[in-house]
């Protein structure tokens, strides 16, 4: 059988539809319970190519690279190294190119999605003999959200995020994702949550469609912390809610906001109108059943 020379994978972002923070743990992470879905838009693309030299991982990132680490400290580059090391194949030459579209620091799990797609792409490229459990273990070592991005679809995330309870949820649920002109770092938002004494979310958003069978109300406990770190966020959210005519909830640790849409709403048309009104990128996103798609 001919060895593959090149593998391409699409890395899908994710939305936390609801995020409860249960407390600070002795290891510095926070215990969470989050209802999370993969979304088809925005997405990144990872390309891996087997090369005779140099040995090890060579990394390049192109596209929308603001706030994206350009060197081997990028989570995707580390993911390639870690999965090759776990399989005892770290001497192989792999050229990794990351095409970025998911904005960094927006709470859409872009870095985690890139790491997940890289793990799966490198396993395919080098035909690594690693089980799904071993892949998830490598993923959890890279970041709390990487295991979810590998499995994709919909799940309750527990522990620090790495414990997954998959949910069968119809793909194609509609959302607007509005991206403000500023970014937030996850550790900063969690630290603010600690400093504020561990607040609970004060706002609740009604779930739409089949999500209503899973949860009575959507809330994000990091929202008060994020709005304290970046006071402009609140005004942004209120303007978004006026323009969209629907309530919005912070995505993960921010800075994006999510507007859940009822079935049958033309998300593209609404996204275009809200984007014009707020003068920021607004994406019409749909939930998808996978976190990584090989070969597209
Ligand atoms: O796991 P990951 O490396 O993605 O986490 C980045 C940072 O986010 C952690 O260092 C921590 O500050 C914060 N975090 C947390 N609790 C979680 C997940 C992340 O405090 N459950």
Span from the CA of 254 to the centroid of ligand 1 (angstroms): 13
For residue 88, count other CB atoms closer than 10 A to its CB: 9
Give the pLDDT band (50/70/90) at residue 274: very high
What tokens were used for 133? Answer: 């459990």
Nearest CA-CA partner of 161 in 12, 16, 259: 16
Task: Select which of 132, 145, 165, 194 is catalytic.
Answer: 145
Percent of the chain with pLDDT over 90: 97
Does the active-site annotation cover 14?
A: yes
If asked whether residues 281 and 199 sit together in one domain, one would say yes
CB of 252 closer than 6 A to ligand 1?
no
Q: Which residues lie below 8 Å from residue 272, measured CB to CB, with a gap of 6+?
A: 282
How would you class 95 by CB atoms within 10 Å of its CB: exposed for 0-12, middle for 13-18, buried for 19 or more? middle
**Does the pTM exceed 0.85?**
yes
CB of 139 closer than 6 A to ligand 1?
no
CB of 13 closer than 6 A to ligand 1?
no
Percent of the chain with pLDDT over 70: 99
What tokens were used for 200? Answer: 């609970």
Tell whether 296 is covered by a domain: no
Does the active-site annotation cover 145?
A: yes
The whole-number pLDDT of residue 296 equals 54
pLDDT in tens, 104-152: 999 999 999 999 999 999 999 999 999 999 999 999 999 999 999 999 9
Given a cut of 80, whether residue 4 has pLDDT beyond it is: no
| Mean pLDDT of all residues belonging to the chain | 96
- Best residue among 30, 105, 139, 198 to mutate for probing ligand 1's pocket (most ligand atoms within 8 Å of CB) is 30
If asked whether residues 206 and 112 sit together in one domain, one would say no
Helix (H, G, I), strand (E, B), or coil: what is residue 73? coil
Tell whether 27 is covered by a domain: yes
Domain boundary among 167, 191, 206: 167
CB of 287 closer than 6 A to ligand 1?
no
If asked whether residues 133 and 232 sit together in one domain, one would say no
**Looking at residues 165-187, what average pLDDT do you find?**
96
Task: Report which protein residue has its CA nearest ligand 1's atom 21.
Answer: 160
What ligand 1 atom has the least distance to the C-alpha of 159? 21
**Distances, alpha carbon 188 to alpha carbons 162, 169, 183, 185, 237, in Å:** 20, 32, 11, 5, 20
Domain boundary among 151, 167, 183: 167
CB of 237 closer than 6 A to ligand 1?
no
If asked whether residues 153 and 180 sit together in one domain, one would say no
CATH for 90: 3.30.230.10
Task: Select which of 14, 44, 100, 114 is catalytic.
Answer: 14
CATH for 267: 3.30.70.890
Tell whether 183 is covered by a domain: yes
Counted domains in the chain: 2
**Looking at residues 81-108, what average pLDDT do you find?**
97
């Amino acid at each position: 059988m001919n060895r593959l020379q090149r593998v391409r994978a699409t890395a899908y972002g994710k939305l936390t539809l609801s995020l409860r923070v249960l407390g600070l743990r002795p290891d510095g992470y926070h215990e969470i319970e989050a209802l999370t879905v993969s979304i088809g838009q925005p997405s990144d693309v990872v390309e891996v190519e087997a090369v005779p030299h140099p040995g090890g991982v060579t990394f390049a990132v192109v596209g929308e690279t603001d706030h994206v680490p350009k060197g081997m400290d990028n989570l995707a580059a580390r993911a390639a190294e870690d999965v090759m090391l776990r399989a005892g194949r770290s001497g192989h030459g792999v050229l990794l190119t990351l095409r970025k579209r998911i904005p960094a620091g927006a709470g859409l799990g872009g870095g985690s999605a890139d790491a997940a797609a890289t793990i799966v792409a490198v396993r395919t490229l080098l035909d690594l003999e690693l089980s799904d459990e071993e892949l998830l273990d490598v993923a959890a070592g890279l970041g709390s959200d990487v295991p979810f991005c590998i499995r994709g679809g919909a799940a309750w995330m527990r522990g620090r995020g790495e414990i997954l309870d998959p949910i069968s949820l119809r793909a194609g649920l509609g959302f607007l994702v509005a991206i403000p002109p500023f970014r937030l770092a996850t550790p900063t938002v969690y630290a603010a949550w600690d400093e504020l004494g561990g607040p609970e979310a004060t706002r609740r958003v009604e779930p739409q469609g089949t999500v209503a069978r899973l949860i009575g109300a959507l809330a994000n406990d990091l929202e008060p912390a994020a709005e304290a770190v970046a006071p402009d966020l609140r005004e942004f959210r209120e303007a978004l809610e006026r323009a969209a005519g629907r309530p919005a909830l912070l995505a993960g640790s921010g800075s994006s906001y999510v507007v859940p849409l009822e079935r049958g709403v033309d998300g593209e048309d609404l996204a275009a109108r809200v984007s014009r009104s707020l003068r920021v990128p607004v994406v019409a996103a749909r939930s998808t059943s996978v976190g990584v798609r090989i070969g597209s």
